[in-house]
Amino acid sequence: MNSPSEQVEEEFGVPIPGTILPEDQWAKTALKKMPPPGPLDFAALFGRTAPIVLDLGCGNGRSTLLSALQRPDFDHLASDILPVVIRYATRRGNQRGLSNTRWAVIGGRELLRDYIAPHSITEIHCYHPQPYYERHEIGKRLIMPEFLSLVHRALLPDGLFVIQTDNPAYWNYIASVAPHFFEVQEHPTPWPDAPSGRTRREILALQKGLPIFRGLCKPRADLTEDALKALVKTLPRPNFNADRRLMVLDRLESEGEDPAAKQPPQRRRR
């Protein structure tokens, strides 16, 4: 039973995972400055040895909070390029006492390329990567052969890559290139652990009645380093039309915290 001092937050009518604990139970979860490039020492970072989960483009932290609460024996490093959302995520990780989380301002590609040792990660999650709608921004798209090669390199042989989008064109591209690197299983139904959505974006998309495309990807065991390099050189880049009609959801998501979440957190009933 929760203490009367524990509080719960909501956004878009869906509770944010976990409760706000009394301040003396808060954690310190920020990775305030990335070290010089080189493999991260996760045992030193978390003070223990545990399976590692990466959440790339974590936004306000909802998906990482959920996983960290459900799986205290796993350590989670979440990253995003936007300092403002990492501030929200760090605050929430701290307030929930989640010492098995760390939050960093860095791009997913850069994190994998510069800081992750080969075959060291148990899971990598990437929810709703930005599709970018303008032609001159196509090169900013995260999911492309180079990135998928980095994911494959980072994962343990029995690791898992979870990818999700609400953009049909992006999913069509992912579905065409990801099987070169992974055994891909589509997951068409809502996540059992979060039927309303694992992320802020998924919640918005589901509330708007949009389809969600989800993939569970296991690294192909038959790929050598030379084979990965060849795939990066030969597979097509993501030059699809992202469909500007979906920008309305981007605007909703980029407005900042949901107004309901800015209200004083409600005390959870005993």
> pLDDT in tens for each of the 270 residues of the chain?
445 456 778 888 999 999 999 999 999 999 988 999 999 999 999 999 999 999 999 999 999 999 999 999 999 999 999 999 999 999 999 999 999 999 999 999 999 999 999 999 999 999 999 999 988 999 999 999 999 999 999 999 999 999 999 999 999 999 999 999 999 999 999 999 999 999 999 999 999 899 999 999 999 999 999 999 999 999 999 999 998 777 877 777 776 444 434 433 333 332
pLDDT of residue 255: 67
Cα–Cα distance list, 252 to 112, 142, 241 (Å): 29, 21, 21
DSSP state of 30: B
CATH topology of domain 1-71+81-140+239-263: Rossmann fold (3.40.50)
**Domain extents for the chain?**
1-71+81-140+239-263
The Cα 65–Cα 78 span in angstroms is 10
Main-chain phi, psi angles of 140, to 5 degrees: -85, -10
pLDDT at position 263, please?
38
127 DSSP β-pair partners? 164
The distance of Cα 75 from the centroid of its chain, to the nearest Å, equals: 14
For the record, the structure tokens of 201 come out as 């974006």
Looking at residue 250, what is its pLDDT? 77
